Structure 1
Amino acid sequence: MQSIEFETRLQDGVIHLPALYRNWRDNRPVKVILLAADHESQTTPLDATQRLCAILEIGRLCAAAPELDPRSTDEIIGYDANGLPT
């Protein structure tokens, strides 16, 4: 199965293929996986308070994420005999 990726906007419930793929024959079997944005794009700029709240929320989400690698940063980077990162 061939895989393509493109971004578009729904128009009356229809997703149009890019011109490159419009020559595909009718009734060709396809599998459609639709990824939609969690929320609509912000149309007005955020003020300083809204930006701060968004940054703090990202920090809360990161802090709540599980630790996947228990090694220290020094162990992860690794150093050679001269103390330079390897």
Structure 2
Amino acid sequence: MIDVFLGQIWPYVLGALAILAAWLSARRSGKLAAHAEDAVHRAQKKEKTDKEVRNVRNEVASLDDDTVDRELDRWVRNR
């Protein structure tokens, strides 16, 4: 009696497990894609910040000491 009952529901149990596995797989791939997109965004932001830092360093390096002092004084007053 139980063998007949299990034989009848076994395909449904396997189908449910397959649906669950597909859902978990899709969820995981969605999370991985979101993490990859976030990593790309962070890398682009870091690249932009690094470029700005290089520009400021080059600009300061090209100035003489008196000009740097005046610019820093003006910057501190404006803050």
- Greater relative contact order, per chain length (Cα 8 Å cut-off, separation 6+): 2
* Structure number with higher helix proportion: 2
After TM superposition, the score normalised by the length of structure 2 is 0.31
After TM superposition, the score normalised by the length of structure 1 is 0.29
Larger radius of gyration: 2
